[in-house]
Structure 1
Amino acid sequence: MKAGAPRLGPTTHTGPLSGVRVVDLTAMVMGPYCTQIMADMGADVIKVEPPDGDNTRYISVGPEPGMAGVFVNVNRGKRSVVLDLRSADGKDALRELIGNADVFIHSMRAKAIAGLGFGYEEVAAVNPAVIYTNCY
């Protein structure tokens, strides 16, 4: 990995999706639930959160601040990394994750994700084999 790239621990996933790496840039329920099922089936799911956290962390009271039950439930079994996608370093780190991924999934409007530099064309240029999907 390059300097400044996210360092993620090892995985021990087993199941039919073992060996599949998913970069998860989803929020709220639908996208995280989709990737939770992938993680439950053995995929290595890397949840990408902004510096202030996924907004689902704060939609209800949890045992700890930022740990709402719905967030904990739909993000179980995933690894997590915080990236500031407004910064060049954050964007470079996400590109590196995508370069090693089988699936890239997000839950943003087309203009919003393209504005960050991660529309389909940009992601396919980094990893032509990646499965690109949107849960918006």
Structure 2
Amino acid sequence: MGFLVSGIHHVAIICSDYQRSKAFYHEQLGFKIIQETYRQERDSYKLDMAVDEHTQIELFSFPDAPVRASFPEAQGLRHLAFKTTKLDETVNYLIRQGISVENIRLDEITGKRFTFFQDPDGLPLELYEV
């Protein structure tokens, strides 16, 4: 029997400014809030948001969390990619939200179009057209 996984449940992100990142992911990107929890003993928020019916983002705030080691080629998670069937419309939406988006590129291996933008802490986020 192999590794019994059916998909990705969530991606966890630690932010530097909770209110700013909450506004970015919820208000600007439109992810639905499932639950918001303040953990007093940790002075920390945990915000669960639905990306779609199968995938969530957990947004955490921790006092004095270290900054990202380097950008963008530090070891560990390189970027988070969101799939879209309407890349041009999605890019235009982000631009209208005041979010800077790189030029659309073509994946030389798959022939698919993609682009990158950043969250408020500089986390690289990708839009990948499927």
Q: TM above 0.5, one fold? A: no
What TM-score results when the alignment is normalised by the length of structure 1? 0.27
Instruction: Give TM-score, length-normalised by structure 2.
Output: 0.27
Work out which of the two has the higher radius of gyration on C-alpha atoms and give 1 or 2. Answer: 2
The structure with the largest helix share of the pair is 1
Tell which has more relative contact order, 1 or 2 (C-alpha 8 A, sep 6+).
1
